[in-house]
Amino acid sequence: SKREIKMRKLDSTKVRPLKSEQLLRIEDHDFALRPGFGGSPIPVGIDVQVESIDSISEVDMDFTMTLYLRHYWKDERLSFRSTKNKSMTFDGRLIKKIWVPDIFFVHSKRSFIHDTTVENVMLRVYPDGNVLFSLRITVSAMCFMDFSRFPLDTQNCSLELESYAYNEDDLMLYWKHGNESLSTDEHISLSQFFIEEFSASSGLAFYSSTGWYNRLFINFALRRHIFFFVLQSYFPAMLMVMLSWVSFWIDRRAVPARVSLGITTVLTMSTIITGVSASMPQVSYIKAVDVYLWISFLFVFLSVIEYAAVNYLTTIEERKQLKKRGKASGMYNIDAVQAMAFDGCYHDPEVDMDLTAFPDRCEENETRARAVSVSNVGTTRIKRKRSFKGNVGRIILQNNHVIDTYSRIIFPSVYIVFNFFYWGLYM
């Protein structure tokens, strides 16, 4: 009656449905139930366009991706009459009043729907009941990475989609256009990776309490750019190893020079190894970069041990020569050996026996030598000046130990062979 109609208009507790809701008959159906409830599973097609891969984190083992997720299904409850057979497009306000697939991202850590300037949601309904539901989402998901070949590695990651509530008896999830359902932006690029391929696949997931579910996979392969690590890790390590070889060409008399060079290269290698490890997850297996850096560290360490052996054998050799020649007294023998140990100067018996030019302790030895043979001082000085000025290279070669001579060949040769094996294995 007219009176009842008038009372309905005056009732402020009821919200009058919109014209679109009246056209779709939203209030006439229970949209808490899926379409075709009780019958065959409803097919829901998925179409994805990847807008960007925002970041790849090795430490957290995850990736962040922004994409357009589109759902396609048919709900006859939303069919409407249209003389021009045109679809209707709605925003997010209608989504909460109808049934939509409950798709979620498996192994996701964080995700959100963009809401600037408004919520990036689109719903398009066709007269026959076909529905297109589109979202713009940024999701961060886990990627199970293997760093055994880092930084010469290729990582295979996947973003997995699945219905949360409806198993395969109620909802059949599939790629809408097969392999062409996954598209990417042409300008996608990453700082450390080269995107080799994108592919779409599907499968089933089983849960003991709820059953089997359809699952869709967005697979992509990432190959790491190695040039950055060549400049930051490999090339500096290689230079430190070659720098340690300079010690083999320095006179074995120069104890401070050779020890300082060895310690400097060892500390530099330690810094390089620490810097690489700080930017990587603490995995329990050996990475490819660890193999290269630790073997390079071993070469640098062995160069320090090599000079320790040279220094020790030189001391023994000097002691034997002094005893064999018997040119000096027992007191002088002790002083000569102690000079080698404490003041860092090696005493050549043929040059420095009668005159030594060491600071502090060498001056005491010079005083004793003058007391034994004052007449030979001038002659010895002239010989030493001529020897060092005219034949410096010959003296250095003659005063090098046989271990230094072999090390000049063995160390570079073994390191070159190691590099051939390493790059041939991992490249």
* pLDDT single digits (tens) 177-204: 988 899 988 788 888 899 888 899 999 9
Q: Is residue 387 part of a domain?
A: no
Angle in degrees, 0-180, between the axes of helices 235-245 and 288-325, rounded to the nearest 10: 10
| Residues 409, 280 within the same domain | yes
Q: 133-175: per-residue pLDDT in tens?
A: 999 999 999 999 999 999 999 999 999 999 999 999 999 999 9
Q: Is residue 380 part of a domain?
A: no
d(Cα 154, Cα 151) in Å, to the nearest integer? 9
Query: For residues 40 and 208, is the Cβ–Cβ distance under 8 A?
Result: no
Domain end marker among 209, 224, 239 = 224
% residues pLDDT > 90 (the chain): 50
Q: Round the average pLDDT of the chain to a whole number and report it.
A: 82
| Residues 48, 105 within the same domain | yes
| Residues 176, 277 within the same domain | no
| Residues 237, 217 within the same domain | no
- Per-residue pLDDT at 353 exceeds 50: no
Pairing of strands 108-113, 130-142: antiparallel
| Residues 82, 208 within the same domain | yes
d(Cα 45, Cα 178) in Å, to the nearest integer? 10
Query: How many structural domains does the chain have?
Result: 2
Domain end marker among 200, 224, 248 = 224
- What pTM, to 2 d.p., does this model score? 0.72
- The confidence score (pLDDT) of residue 380 equals 52
Domain range for 151 is 42-224
| Exposure letters 63-86 (e unless 16+ CB within 10 A, then b) | bbbebbbbbbbbbebbbbeeeeee
pLDDT band per the 50, 70, 90 thresholds, residue 411: very high
pLDDT band per the 50, 70, 90 thresholds, residue 16: low
| Residues 49, 197 within the same domain | yes
